[in-house]
Structure 1
Amino acid sequence: MEITWNDFEKVEMRIGTILEVDNFPEARNPAYKLVIDFGKDIGIRKSSAQITRRYSAEDLIGKQIVAVVNFPKKQIATFMSECLVLGAVGENNDIVLLNPDFKVENGLLVG
């Protein structure tokens, strides 16, 4: 499906740093609960991510990621997700997170 440039401009992707990671046993598929810092303008947001196959909780602390921050909140089991962490989805839902090559300021716009 083709979208317009105006459609793309509505998606707000930002850089954030993962501050906290907790297991999410209530989720239907193995997942973590993430607390992510998107800088002073956006602040702290929470997300759920099915990334347990490739990443340990320890690997994720301090890692910068790309996320969509302007979707509506979404209830996932007992957890309210406030942003969507982006990753490349391989076979069997093997997800590799999208992240900058170099450390950058939290909250920077991805475009």
Structure 2
Amino acid sequence: MSETENKITFEEFRKVELKVGRILSAENLPGYKKILRIIVDLGGEEREIMSGLAKHYQPEEIVNKNVIVCTNLEPRKFGDQVSDGMILAASNDNGRPILLTVVEDTNPGSQIT
């Protein structure tokens, strides 16, 4: 797909809700080798998010980290669990996900603008 085929309008982009979240807890999701079950504080709201980070991070490594969360995706089922958001990450040269974060400490729930 070419770069011009991927273009979205500014109005389409405005629909994406991105917020700073603080990871409160993380654990391996039973029955899934690649998925962590993560609880994220979004400032007055906690969300359960399933994320494909288990091969690259130990749960205790990411607790208390500030991350960027897309908060308005449709929920997705993982077995009996429902993921209500997506934690954003970039990939390094080896394909390892690198969690997106903020340079300075900020409050959970801060809107990305």
Could you tell me the TM-score, scaled by structure 2's length? 0.87
- How far residue 3 of structure 1 moved from its aligned partner, in angstroms, is 0.2
Partner residue of 1:61?
A: 63
Contact 1:26 1:78 survives alignment (8 Å): no
Cα distance in structure 1, aligned partners of 2:86 and 2:94: 20
Partner residue of 1:26?
A: 31
SS of 1:6's equivalent?
helix
Paired-residue identity, %: 23
Cα distance in structure 2, aligned partners of 1:73 and 1:49: 12
Tell which structure's C-alpha radius of gyration is larger. 2
Q: What is the identity, as a one-letter code, of the residue corresponding to 1:19?
A: L
Q: What is the identity, as a one-letter code, of the residue corresponding to 1:77?
A: G
Cα distance in structure 2, aligned partners of 1:91 and 1:32: 22
Structure 1 runs of 4+ with >3 Å offset = 90-93
Residues 63-108 of structure 1 deviation map (CA, whole Å, 9 limit, x = unaligned): 1100100111111222100111100134564211100112101101
Q: What is the identity, as a one-letter code, of the residue corresponding to 1:26?
A: G
Residue range with higher mean Cα deviation, 65-74 or 49-58: 49-58
Root-mean-square deviation (CA, aligned residues, Å) is 1.5
Partner residue of 2:3?
A: none
